[in-house]
Structure 1
Amino acid sequence: MEHTDYAKGQECSQKRSPFDMIINQIRRTKSFTDRRPRASVGRFFRPTENSDKKDGGIPESGEPEGQRDQEKAGRGGPAVSEPCSVVGWGRVKQFVQKLGKKLDSSSLNLGHCDLTATDILELATLLPFLSQLEEIDLSWNDLIGGSLKAFPAQVRHVARLRRLRLSSCRLKAEDLTALGETLNYLPLLEVVDLSWNAGVGGNLQRLLSGFQPGSTLKELHLVECQLTAADAHALGGAMNILPSLELLDLSANRLLEGGIGELAPQLKGNSGLKVLRMHMCGLRQDSLLMLGKALQFLPALEQLDLSCNQGVSGGFAQVSAHLTQLTHLRNLDLHQCSLKEEDVQALVQVVPSLGDLKVLDLSSNKKVGGLGQVLFPALPLTRLKTLSMNGCCLTEESYRSLASAVQSQGQLESLGLSWNKCVGGNLRQLLQALQPGSHLQQLRLASCGLTTEDLLQLASASKRGALVHLRQLELMYNDGVGEQGWTHLFKEAEDLRALTELDVSLHPSGRSSARPRASLWLPALLGALPRLPSLACLSLQGWALTAREREGLEASNRDGKRSVTFDYDPQPGAGDREAGSMGQPVA
């Protein structure tokens, strides 16, 4: 009956008088006004299909508003696209605002909104009014899994969509099927991010089957999706229809390794691939060899992440010849790969061929520490901007070799030497290698066994302008530094005007241990804060602070010109009880 009445209404629309059309326009305007209060509870009580039709809502046929209005105009009916768009945009605005988000015609970001399946159904009905959308982000809404089946019927209204992000949504197999169906209506789609959805594992083919030959997809993010060997096989089969792919992130899929044999050879056809991330994928020597053979066919590759794959240990000698073909590689991450001596020797042969290399991370590879004197001279330090050697057990000889290499270049922006005890007592060697006006922006020296003398040398380097661009300084877990070292560093802080983050935390102490007092050097820090205009975060974890001292730190934010985040232990220090009359701890 309802459908019959609607058909009759369409037929009679051709016979209306001009007076009827005017009255109808007034009614439509009134209905929109009446709907506005009701829309605030639309999340739980939805308009009926009839009311949608009367108020200019979504047509039952699913046709775009503009198309339906044009057909009416062609039959002599009034063109009502403008009132309809006003009604629809009003509904969209109310939906977005009740979730605490701002409305943007080209980007819909509803991440971290605690969306439910009901919200997704409502959102699907609003897509016809969002034809300008280029991005939809529904990430971190873990209650919407199983509800995406409402999308295929409406997604054709957002044919301009370029980026679709659904990270951590607890997607299910039926969601992957629905997404695969929507791909037919998204010819411009460039980015798909389904990371942190365990339901993708074993069901990736449901998504991939929706891609058409010549797809415009540029980025595919599938981090920690519990991908299986079968998924790797399916992905390999889809590579030939994804010629535009530039970024493939398969990180943290430990079960993927069994399918590398099917995936790796298919990468050869994606010569435009620029970023390949396979962090923590359970790779072994044989899978590294298969991957290495494919790398020589990826001349555009700029970033390669094979970190946290201990199984590849001892296998780089077999792929060194292939790595030398990556002449445009800018970022190589091999941290925590249990590299052996033969691996380091292979890298020494490879690195000179990587003329564009800007970032190298070899952290947490203990064997590297004893071969630094061979490795560092081979590095393209005249171009390298980031070098991470944290936890590499550097020897004193390797450390001296590094200091000598740093002295010969001026482009280094980030240097990580944390957890290398040889730095303690020898920081002067490195700092002297830094020239005034050095480009260094990040210096990580956590748990290096630094001494008071090292801090005095750091202050001296700051005074002569070697750290003028430094933005991040990590000095935590160096419990051997005395009061004089901290005091002198803060007194010379005027030359650290670019500093935004400073961490001087101590090792976590046991409950029965008395924490060191910061009182001896804190006045120097308080005096330095006005001379550190860029400082945004200061970590003092492990230090005992009285209520008055905390108040003094927080007072530096009260001028309204800055906002520094102070990170200290939430529980009162031992001295707080003694100074209870001085004030209350700042939350």
Structure 2
Amino acid sequence: MKLNNCELTEKNCRVLATVLSSKTTLKEMNLNNSCLLDSGVKEICEGLKNPVCELKILKLNNCALTEESFSALASVLSSDSSRLKDLDLSNNNLRDSGVMLVSDGLKENCKLEKLRQLSDCSITEEGYKALASALSSNPSHLIELDLTGNDPGQSGVKHLSDLLQDPNCQLKLSLRKCGLTEKSCSALATVLKSNSSLKELDMSDNNLQDSGVKKLLDGLENTNYTLENLRLNKCNLTDRSCSALAAVLGSDTSLKELNMNNNNLQDSGVKVLCTGLESVKCKLEILR
């Protein structure tokens, strides 16, 4: 059910909660761009905790949520009766305090698989620490995490890296536009060198430069890694990155998709890249 941009208010939420508490087959609810307020979200959450509720996808992008809403949502996530698998909280002023509340719901009983949109929620190092701690207690349930536009700082990257080295953690991780640098790449290379089960890594829109990407690719020298999708769109790369990329592509790699859009590779860089693509060991299926 799509009700985004419908100027919904807390009064509408009371009706929607009644629907969720009834024996309906409703699986998805899109409430994006609505002024629900905390009182409205609490009504929705009561419906979500009802054992008959079968909703799996809830979108609350840009709904002016605050800490009270996040506390209510955490109680849903930790509820035994909740069937919620996919939650979008992007463009809300979540901040570290809100992340800590949501993180409490991500622990042991949580069935959520996709926290796809925590983008642009003003999360910093403390928020990353809380998320990593919560997910380490139940590393296998969440498979997709989007932290676009939230700067983790070096300690935040370290907390994430420690989590990702757990072989039970099978995240698809987006760190687009997170202010990452060459130092961040060193920490993430350590993840790739370990027995990490990381399948997808998006580091687009970060100023990694050639030196940072070379450090990241050092982690792909380990043939045990499982990374299948690497996105390096708009990372200020030049043809100097292409030799290292070609070496990875020409090795016994699991990489199937590589995104290099909006980088200054030039003809010389593409020619070098092609040497890796011509290797009989190359398994790449998509190059952008």
What is the TM-score when the length of structure 2 is the normalising length?
A: 0.84
Ranked by relative contact order (alpha carbons within 8 Å, sequence separation 6 or more), the top structure is 2
The answer for the alignment partner of 1:450 in structure 2 is 237
C-alpha change, 1:449 and 1:261, in structure 2 (3 Å) is same
* Residue 365 (structure 1) shift: 0.5
Q: Is 2:146 the partner of 1:366? A: no
Report the Cα distance in structure 1 between the residues aligned to 2:46 and 2:111, rounded to whole angstroms: 21
Q: Is 2:96 the partner of 1:317? A: no
- State the secondary structure of the residue aligned to 1:276: strand
Q: Is 2:61 the partner of 1:279? A: yes
* Residue 385 (structure 1) shift: 4.2
C-alpha change, 1:275 and 1:338, in structure 2 (3 Å) is same
Aligned-pair identity (%): 28
The answer for the alignment partner of 1:394 in structure 2 is 180
Report the Cα distance in structure 2 between the residues aligned to 1:491 and 1:427, rounded to whole angstroms: 18
* Residue 312 (structure 1) shift: 4.9
C-alpha change, 1:420 and 1:326, in structure 2 (3 Å) is farther
The answer for the alignment partner of 2:30 in structure 1 is 250
The answer for the alignment partner of 1:581 in structure 2 is none
- State the secondary structure of the residue aligned to 1:344: helix
C-alpha change, 1:243 and 1:381, in structure 2 (3 Å) is farther
The answer for the alignment partner of 1:488 in structure 2 is 272
Report the Cα distance in structure 1 between the residues aligned to 2:278 and 2:37, rounded to whole angstroms: 52
- State the secondary structure of the residue aligned to 2:208: helix
Paired amino acid for 2:183: E
| Deviation sequence 1:204-238 (CA, Å, 0-9, x none) | xxxxxxxxxxxxxxxxxx34433222211211122
- State the secondary structure of the residue aligned to 1:236: helix
C-alpha change, 1:359 and 1:405, in structure 2 (3 Å) is same
* Residue 490 (structure 1) shift: 1.9
- State the secondary structure of the residue aligned to 1:415: strand
| Deviation sequence 1:452-476 (CA, Å, 0-9, x none) | 2211100111111325x413x2212
Report the Cα distance in structure 2 between the residues aligned to 1:477 and 1:431, rounded to whole angstroms: 19
List structure 1 segments (4+ residues) > 6 angstroms apart after TM superposition.
Answer: none
Which of 46, 49, 69 lines up with 1:268 in the alignment? 49
Paired amino acid for 2:105: H
* Residue 450 (structure 1) shift: 1.4
* Residue 377 (structure 1) shift: 0.4
The answer for the alignment partner of 1:460 in structure 2 is 247
Report the Cα distance in structure 1 between the residues aligned to 2:31 and 2:229, rounded to whole angstroms: 26
- State the secondary structure of the residue aligned to 1:478: coil
Equivalenced residue count is 279
> Considering only aligned residues, what root-mean-square deviation do their CA atoms show, in Å?
2.7
Give runs of aligned pairs for residues 94-113 of structure 1, distance below 5 A. Answer: none
- State the secondary structure of the residue aligned to 2:73: helix
The answer for the alignment partner of 1:42 in structure 2 is none
In structure 2, stretches of 5+ residues that fail to align are none
The answer for the alignment partner of 2:201 in structure 1 is 415
Report the Cα distance in structure 2 between the residues aligned to 1:301 and 1:322, rounded to whole angstroms: 12
- Does the 8 Å contact 2:205/2:234 carry over to 1? yes
Paired amino acid for 2:191: A
Q: Is 2:124 the partner of 1:340? A: yes
The answer for the alignment partner of 1:61 in structure 2 is none
Give runs of aligned pairs for residues 561-572 of structure 1, distance below 5 A. Answer: none
- Does the 8 Å contact 1:372/1:399 carry over to 2? no
Paired amino acid for 2:192: V
- Does the 8 Å contact 1:399/1:423 carry over to 2? no
The answer for the alignment partner of 1:424 in structure 2 is 210
- State the secondary structure of the residue aligned to 2:28: strand
Which of 477, 480, 494 lines up with 2:262 in the alignment? 477
* Residue 299 (structure 1) shift: 4.6
Q: Which has the larger radius of gyration?
A: 1
- Does the 8 Å contact 2:17/2:47 carry over to 1? yes
Give runs of aligned pairs for residues 35-54 of structure 1, distance below 5 A. Answer: none
Paired amino acid for 1:267: L
- State the secondary structure of the residue aligned to 2:97: coil
* Residue 347 (structure 1) shift: 0.9
Report the Cα distance in structure 2 between the residues aligned to 1:425 and 1:451, rounded to whole angstroms: 10
